[in-house]
């Protein structure tokens, strides 16, 4: 009989060798360029089809969206459709759009609220391909991945049922707020089959490139607003789509464009000053000013001020956005009447965008309170 320790070591050696070969196999597969390329027909995750296929139904239409990665070599996208439960049994091309793009609206011969004789809802099924600069289409519609293939190799599809959508929301903009756009659709009239709201947003670059909308929120029926604070620079413009959605997923969209206003950050809070005497033999002191840091992502820094004996404001050092205290050394007190007094200190916050007048955009001044 082998000693227990020898048996244990032998089994460990066999297991280690097995794991070593497995790691080599996985490395060869997952490290290859073909597997890493999402548009390669052999890719286990996409089968070469553009990823992120998502459908949004409407009134006799379907909005087809996908992830446009901006990958070089893509010339166009082609959209295919077939009817599920109806007379169509094969996919037929219903549209094409040049790259870059991530959306196509299909309006060709679509019917609302389709059902079979038993009342079962009938859907439309979609697929999408890409065409490269050489005219090669992937996946190949003439030789598509088998529908009964292993799950990871199936050409991804999506389903939608057009329907008469609920009313489109009437959207208004809220009061201007720093780095925030407020959308409201108060007074919405809910139909019996209402499901949810959807809010889409796209950065408005004001050029000829197509807008790239993404779903940013799905407010429920008791929330008739959306606040977008995903901004880092004043003046950024976005285009919004606010949709009412019914139980079929059909949506009616209102489009609105808005820009975050060019306003300064909020004033710093909890501003304090400590006066530290330098010596018993003179009147000079150090002023230690502290505050609670701002949280605005476009914050560029803080500006310190003081006042002279006549109340005139004088600029002092500007400090960085990460600072939360600053010491002004060797200050002289000011003569007020017949007595010497410490100076008054103030602070503002400023952002990285000039104001409408072209000057630095500063918040209101806050006086430092003595600790």
Q: What is the pTM of this model?
A: 0.70
Q: Residue 337: its pLDDT value, please?
A: 82
Q: Look at phi and psi of residue 70 and say left if phi exceeds 0, alpha if psi is from -120 to 50, else beta.
A: left
Torsion of CA 191, 192, 195, 201, to 10 degrees: -10
- Evaluate the omega torsion of the peptide bond into residue 100 and state whether it is cis, within 30 degrees of 0: yes
CA 123 to CA 94: how far, in whole Å? 16
227 contacts: CB under 8 Å, gap ≥ 6: 174, 180, 181, 182, 183
Q: Residue 200: its pLDDT value, please?
A: 97
Q: Residue 121: its pLDDT value, please?
A: 81
Q: Residue 92: its pLDDT value, please?
A: 92
At residue 114, φ and ψ (nearest 5 deg) are: -70, 135
Tell me if 200 sits within 8 A of 149, measured CB to CB.
no
SS3 217: strand
142 contacts: CB under 8 Å, gap ≥ 6: none
Q: What is the pLDDT along the chain (371 residues), one digit of tens a residue?
A: 444 344 444 554 444 554 454 454 444 444 444 445 666 666 655 666 888 899 999 999 999 999 887 888 899 999 999 998 766 678 999 999 999 999 999 999 999 888 888 878 889 999 999 999 999 998 888 887 666 555 555 788 899 989 889 999 999 999 989 999 999 999 999 998 899 999 999 999 877 778 889 999 999 999 999 999 999 999 999 999 999 999 888 999 999 999 999 999 999 999 999 999 887 778 899 999 999 999 999 999 999 999 888 888 999 999 999 999 999 999 999 988 888 899 999 999 999 999 888 899 999 999 999 98
Q: Residue 208: its pLDDT value, please?
A: 76
Q: Is 58 exposed, middle or buried (0-12, 13-18, 19+ CB in 10 A)?
A: buried
Closest CA to 135 of 76, 203, 212: 76
SS3 145: coil
């Amino acid at each position: 009989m082998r000693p227990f320790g020898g048996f244990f070591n032998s089994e460990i050696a066999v297991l280690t060798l097995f794991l070593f070969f497995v790691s080599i196999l996985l490395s060869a597969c997952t490290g290859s360029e073909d597997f890493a390329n999402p548009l390669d027909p052999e890719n286990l995750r996409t089968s070469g089809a553009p990823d992120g296929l998502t459908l949004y139904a409407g009134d006799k239409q379907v909005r087809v969206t996908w992830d446009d990665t901006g990958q070089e070599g893509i010339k166009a996208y082609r959209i295919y459709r077939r009817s599920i439960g109806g007379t169509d049994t094969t996919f037929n091309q219903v549209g094409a759009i040049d790259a870059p793009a991530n959306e196509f609206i299909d309006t060709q011969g679509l019917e609302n609220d389709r059902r079979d004789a038993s009342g079962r809802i009938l859907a439309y099924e979609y697929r999408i391909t890409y065409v490269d600069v050489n005219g090669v289409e992937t996946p190949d519609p003439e030789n598509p991945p088998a529908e009964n293939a292993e799950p990871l190799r199936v050409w991804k599809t999506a389903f939608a049922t057009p329907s008469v959508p609920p009313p489109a929301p009437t959207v208004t903009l809220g009061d201007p707020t720093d780095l925030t756009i407020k959308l409201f659709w108060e007074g919405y009239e809910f139909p019996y089959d209402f499901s949810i709201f959807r809010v889409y947003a796209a950065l408005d670059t004001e050029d000829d490139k197509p807008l790239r909308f993404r779903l940013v929120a799905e407010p429920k029926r008791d929330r008739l607003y959306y606040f977008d604070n995903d901004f880092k620079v004043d003046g950024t413009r976005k285009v919004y789509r606010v949709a009412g959605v019914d139980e079929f997923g059909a949506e009616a969209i209102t489009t609105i464009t808005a820009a975050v206003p060019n306003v300064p950050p909020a004033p710093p809070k909890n501003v304090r000053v400590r006066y530290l005497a330098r010596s018993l033999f003179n009147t000079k002191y150090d002023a230690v000013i502290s505050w609670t840091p701002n949280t605005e992502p476009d914050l560029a820094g803080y500006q310190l001020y003081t006042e002279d004996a006549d109340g005139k404001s004088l600029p002092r050092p500007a400090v960085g956005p990460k600072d939360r205290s600053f010491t002004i050394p060797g200050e002289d007190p000011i003569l007020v009447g017949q007595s010497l007094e410490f100076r008054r200190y103030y602070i503002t916050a400023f952002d990285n965008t000039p104001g409408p007048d072209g000057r630095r955009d500063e918040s209101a001044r806050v006086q430092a309170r003595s600790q």
